[in-house]
A = this chain, B = another copy of it.
């Protein structure tokens, strides 16, 4: 079976946005257990990606890492941001191991290279070997080494989307990407979850953003949706769910009904 689901644990879901370097151990533990329980009921292959949240946030802003190597301090920024992201990833992996999962970190800055913020090349042999063995590869939002501007921020969405496309090209059936965040998907102007969002609906919806401030697209939701739209056009679905609600992640993995926004062609 080569059916794959890629899952993001959102940074806002697993860390306390108001305090640097503070994870949410209870939420992380529950998400890992939901994942482990779902895995026992299904033979689907899974890849996890965790966002960085309040771990790399402060140094990434301080050193303006997303802008590239802009001054001498940028080198320090790369080092400090990478360390911060790696520290949170170890907390996630520890809980995955505790939940019985054979989780293996694949450190994006070690096996990917970007060009102007987009992933240009990646060494995929390890992740393919891990999937073959039904192990659980874990990637995470990281600093990226960039051919053009020196460095960048590699978002978890970009990493998972890149991997999803590469796996599809290699004959894997990518069922979907699940983004577990802190909202019940994408909200309409009345604050109600849009259950299905197509590229056509989104182009209309995006125009509304300019004229209406009632639509909740805060917290990088636009980035998430835009990335998902690109993927939808290539035949890969994204499901945005609220990871705070117990059971949502497990249901989403098992393809049971769950409140959220499905982004598809």
**A interface, CB within 8 angstroms of B:** 69, 75-76, 78-80, 82-83, 86-87, 90, 93-94, 97, 101-107, 109-111, 113, 121-123, 125-126, 129-130, 133-136, 145, 147, 150
CA distance A80 to B107 in the complex (A): 16
Residues of B with C-beta under 8 A to A82: 104-105
Residues of B with C-beta under 8 A to A76: 102
Distance (Å) between the CB of A117 and the closest chain B CB? 15
A111 near B113: Cβ-Cβ < 8 Å: no
Residues of B with C-beta under 8 A to A109: 104-106, 126
Given contacts A110-B107, A110-B126, A133-B150, contact A93 B102 (CB under 8 A): no
Distance (Å) between the CB of A64 and the closest chain B CB? 16
A79 near B97: Cβ-Cβ < 8 Å: yes
Given contacts A94-B83, A97-B83, contact A106 B102 (CB under 8 A): no
Given contacts A83-B93, A90-B90, A130-B145, contact A75 B135 (CB under 8 A): yes
